[in-house]
Chains A and B, each alone.
Chain A
Amino acid sequence: MHRQKAVHNVYGKMLPYLLLIPTFAVIILFIYWPAVTSFRMSFYKVSPFGNKTIYTGLSNFENLFKNPDYIQSAWFTLFYVSFTVFATIFLSFFLALLLNQKVPGSRFYRTLIFSPYAVSPAIAGTLWSFLLNPVVGHVNYFFMKAFNVQVLWLTTKPYALYALLLSSVWKALPFSIIFYIAALQNVSDELLESATIEGAGTLRKIWKIQFPLVSPITFYLVIMNIISSMFQSFAIIDVMTKGGPGGYTTTMMYRLFLDAFAYQKTGPASAQSVVMFLLMAGVTIVYFLFGERKVHYA
């Protein structure tokens, strides 16, 4: 009797760990182990097929920071990420407010506006490439008819940047809109009604009631958008501009992709992934330390 209880106790203590094993196996195998490996690889120079390996110390990192192209891609990434995140948050909140109105057909508009979310980034890039094609694209056809100007969207400065920002924001919007709509529906109508009775205008209600009440969502969306534009933007860039013209739209992620998967330079690519990891860790910590103070948890 006594023994049975002991066994039961041990089993009871072990159970949570047992249940966690599958999750941890996956995380360790696919996240931690590769992360540790790439950290180690960043100190080596490895031949494409891995048959020659030289320990190079920190020289992979030195070469990165001495390379003006890499510095430029870092600045470009900063601009690209801040612009897309800011534009996405602002526009999605605004669109969510509109979609939250009880007007006929709002479900229909919602479906239309969500659709880009269901499209893969590569397809989205292809779609925009077709639309922005200088010769047979619809956008240029419109520009020619309306303003009689011809724009080489994907191959010239600064238009390649505009094209990229436009399509990135377009692609990122639905995700944020969905979250904002859900959050806005949770804002109680009584609050808004009493504010209306007290004589608050629409803008005042949005800014003083709705925006603060959805701030936990904003907090979440900002960090999610930073991560996705930092790491997942590469498909759109690869399809639309190939990082060009002249490296102009090359982000840190796209450069890493080139080094790792076009040139098989595992060492330098690992060094870049370490740099990006540290950057993102820094951004996340700072954001959680200082950003969270402004969040209003209801």
Chain B
Amino acid sequence: MKKALLILVLVSLLTLTGFSATKIQFWHAMGGWRIDMLNKMAQDFMKLNPDIVVDVQYTGSYDETLNKLVAGIQAGTAPHVVQNFEVGTQKMIDGEVAVVMQDLIDKDPTFDMGKFLPQVLNYYRVNGKLYCMPFNSSNPVMFYNKTLFSKAGLDPNKPPRTFSELFEYAKKLTVKDTAGNILQSGITWNLNSWFFEEFMAVQNAPFVDNNNGRTGRATKAVFNTPEGLKFFKLWNDLTQNGYMLNTKAVDWTAARQMFLAQKVGMLITSTSDVALFTDSAANGFVTGAAFLPKPDNSPAGGVVIGGGALWIIDGHSKAETDAAWKFVKFLAEEEQQVTWHLGTGYFPVDKNSLENLINSGFYAQNPNLLTSIFQLLLSVQTYNTNGAIIGAFPEVRNIIQNYVEKMLNKELTPEKALELAEIESTKAIQSYNELF
């Protein structure tokens, strides 16, 4: 009888705790080995907060995750926390589906806004408010093959810093056979509008009007400028001479492959790839990292934050939203940010993590990671380097990629391609704006 009573008490206790646990869902877009990393972080969080259960789901690419979110919100089954890419920021704000992160931050005295890197805050803060929690941030960086540099008679400790140097280096790194076939080329980056946006920021030039959409809703694209043309021309000249190999649109893997197979001497890609290139023993060559080159005599600019952030979706109970806030806060903490940085190459979004890594001597052993973080920290902070925010960003990116492809296929001159890309982008922006 006693035993039965004990069991009864235990069972009721279990069900009670089971009921009292707050369940939250977290959708993310980080595939591969990063799925396990995020699951592990959620488990660590649940150990610290036994009253919260986090259900972590990998929901495919950023695009797919966004589509699932749209469907989830309309069906009333939205997750509590969702990861979204940086170019979805304006869309999320316009959709009015998220709890403004700033409100949660202001209510929580234990949370210090000052810990974020200013570059990160400047990107995600819109109208003076932080709408989402910065989580995985990256920016473009140039990797180069020091071994191939030496072979081509270039100084492996002097990566190109200007467009004209870049052109010269790419030329020297290119090896052709007697029939004119390219055996080795100078440089590659995947065919992606992101690099165009970044190279505008490098020259401290705007992408859309109203200060990149930061002092008012952007109404038109403004990149048909000498700065824009310089980059289009560089891209075209490198390609037509065979000094650059191109991929199909947004093919990160193909660009990486070319670099790892030593078919190109230089690669511009995201810092989130850095872990793949530093293992020189496995690759059979030594990799260096460098800042993005800029046109000769260009004013100082910088790089824009890329990557993603965490959003808390509105419409859940107070207990669930509080649990979601705890979880998001946890992911932005030093320990998780350092783990994430070391495991992926996305850089930490807070100052404490950087301090911690510097103290541990980490950057002395990983100079390439130091280069990429320095590039960000040394970026001049203006509206141009804070990055554009527009609702129709994915469409604008596709338009730019289309016209770049037409230019590279010799259907259009760089001047014409840039002009049409700007006109079409403006149309897309205005069509989106009709709704808001």
Which residue numbers of A lie inside 8 Å of B, CB to CB? 45-52, 54, 133-136, 144, 148-150, 152, 154-157, 240-248, 258, 261-265
Min CB distance, A284 to chain B, in Å?
30
| Mask: chain B, 77-117; 1 = CB below 8 Å from A; 0 = not | 00000000000000100111100000000000000000000
Q: How far is the CB of A62 from chain B (nearest CB, A)?
A: 13
Some 12 contacts from A to B, beta carbons below 8 A apart, are A49-B73, A49-B96, A50-B70, A135-B245, A152-B246, A154-B248, A155-B247, A246-B406, A258-B398, A263-B395, A264-B66, A264-B91
User: In whole angstroms, how far apart are the Cα atoms of A155 and B95 in the complex?
Assistant: 36
Check if A262 sits within 8 Å of B63, measured CB to CB: yes
Contacts of B63 in A (CB 8 A): 261-262
Q: In the complex, what residue of chain B is closest to A241 when comparing beta carbons?
A: B248
Residues of B within 8 A of A241 (CB): 248
Number of inter-chain CB pairs below 8 Å: 103
Q: Which of B97, B401, B434, B436 contacts A244 (CB 8 A)?
A: B401
For B435, list chain A residues within 8 Å (CB).
Answer: 45-47, 52, 54
In the bound complex, residues from chain A placing their C-beta under 8 Å from that of B91 are 48-49, 264
Q: Is the CB of B248 within 8 A of A144?
A: no
Within 8 A of A (CB), among B245-299: 245-251, 254, 257-258, 261, 263
CB-based contact B96/A51 at 8 Å: yes
Residue A47 contacts which of B67, B95, B258, B409 (CB distance < 8 angstroms)?
B95
- Asked if B261 and A246 make an inter-chain contact with CB atoms under 8 angstroms apart, the answer reads no
Interface centre among B94, B248, B411, B434 (most CB of A within 10 A): B248
- Nearest first, the 8 closest Cβ-Cβ pairs linking A and B are A49-B95, A246-B406, A245-B405, A246-B405, A242-B249, A150-B181, A263-B395, A47-B435
| Set of chain B residues within 8 Å of A262, measured between Cβ atoms | 63, 394-395, 398
Is B97 a contact partner of A156 (Cβ separation < 8 A)?
A: no
Query: How distant is the Cα of A157 from the Cα of B406 in the complex, in angstroms?
Result: 10
B167-195 vs A, Cβ < 8 Å mask (1 yes, 0 no): 00000000001010110000000010000
Residue of B257, B392, B406 touching A136 (CB-CB under 8 A): B257
Taking A51-B95, A149-B181, A258-B398 as given, write out 18 further A-B residue pairs in contact, using a Cβ cutoff of 8 Å, ordered by the A residue number.
Answer: A45-B435, A48-B391, A49-B94, A49-B97, A50-B73, A51-B97, A134-B245, A135-B263, A144-B181, A242-B248, A243-B249, A244-B191, A244-B249, A245-B405, A246-B403, A263-B394, A264-B91, A265-B395
Residues of B close to A45: CB separation below 8 A: 434-435
Contact A133 B95 (CB under 8 A): no
With A133-B257, A262-B394 as contacts: A244 and B248 at CB distance below 8 Å? yes
Cα distance A154–B251 when bound, in Å? Answer: 11
Q: Determine the chain A residues whose CB is within 8 A of the CB of B391 once the complex forms.
A: 48
Which residues of chain B in 200-220 are interfacial with respect to chain A, using CB atoms and an 8 Å cutoff? none
Chain A residue at minimal CB-CB distance from B254 = A133
What's the Cα separation between A240 and B395 when bound, in Å?
20
User: In the complex, are the beta carbons of A157 and B409 less than 8 A apart?
Assistant: yes
| B67–A261 CB distance below 8 A | yes
> What chain A residues lie within 8 Å of B360 (beta carbons)?
none
A46 to B409, CA, bound (A): 35
Judge whether B74 is part of the interface by a CB distance below 8 angstroms.
yes
Assuming the contacts A54-B434, A155-B191, asked whether A48 and B95 have C-beta atoms less than 8 A apart, the reply is: yes
Smallest CB separation, B388 vs chain A (Å)? 17
Residue of A nearest to B91 (CB): A48
Question: Does B147 have its Cβ within 8 Å of any Cβ on chain A?
Answer: no
Q: Is B379 an interface residue (CB 8 A)?
A: no
> How many angstroms from the CA of A4 to the CA of B258 in the assembled complex?
80
Q: Bound state CA distance, A51 and B94, in angstroms? A: 9
Q: Give the one of A48, A50, A136, A243 with max B CB within 10 A.
A: A48
Contact of B261 among A51, A54, A135, A265 (CB under 8 A): A135
User: Taking the complex as formed, is B344 at the interface, i.e. its CB lies under 8 A from any CB of chain A?
Assistant: no
Nearest CB on A from B294, distance (A):
26
Task: Verify if B408 is at the interface (C-beta below 8 Å from A).
Answer: yes
Give bound CA distance, A50 to B392, whole Å: 15
Residue of B67, B97, B177, B405 near A264 (CB, 8 A) is B67
Q: Do A245 and B261 touch (CB < 8 A)? A: no
- Interface contact A246-B411, CB-CB below 8 Å: yes
CB <8 Å contact, A148 and B179: yes
Residues of chain A contacted by B249 (CB below 8 angstroms)? 242-244
Q: In the complex, how many angstroms separate the beta carbon of B196 from the nearest chain A beta carbon? A: 15
The docked-state distance in angstroms from the alpha carbon of A155 to that of B96 is 39
- Residue in A closest to B88 when the chains form the complex, CB atoms: A48
The answer on a CB contact under 8 Å between B402 and A247 is: yes
* A156 and B409 contact, Cβ closer than 8 Å, known pairs A45-B434, A263-B395: yes
Cβ A245 vs Cβ B406 within 8 A? yes
**What is the bound-complex CA distance between A154 and B436, given in angstroms?**
39
Q: How far is the CB of B148 from chain A (nearest CB, A)?
A: 15
Instruction: Give A165 to B432 CA distance when docked, in angstroms.
Output: 35
Residue of A nearest to B403 (CB): A246
Interface residues in B408-424 by Cβ distance below 8 A to A read: 408-409, 411
Complex CA gap A262/B251 in Å reads 16
A134 to B254, CA, bound (A): 10
Separation of A245 and B74 alpha carbons in the complex (Å): 35
**Assembled-state Cα–Cα distance A244/B394 (Å):** 16
Complex Cα distance A248/B94, Å? Answer: 33
Q: How near does chain B come to A251, taking the closest CB pair, in angstroms?
A: 15
Interface membership of chain B positions 372-398, coded 1 if the CB is closer than 8 angstroms to chain A and 0 otherwise: 000000000000000000011011001
Q: How far is the CA of A156 from the CA of B398 in the complex (A)?
A: 17
The answer to whether A263 and B405 have CB atoms under 8 Å apart is no
Give the complex CA separation of A48 and B71 in angstroms: 10
B 48-82 binary contact with A (CB < 8 Å = 1; else 0): 00000000000000011011001001100000000
In the complex, the answer to whether A246 meets B94 with C-beta atoms within 8 Å is no
Cα–Cα, bound, A144→B178 (Å): 12
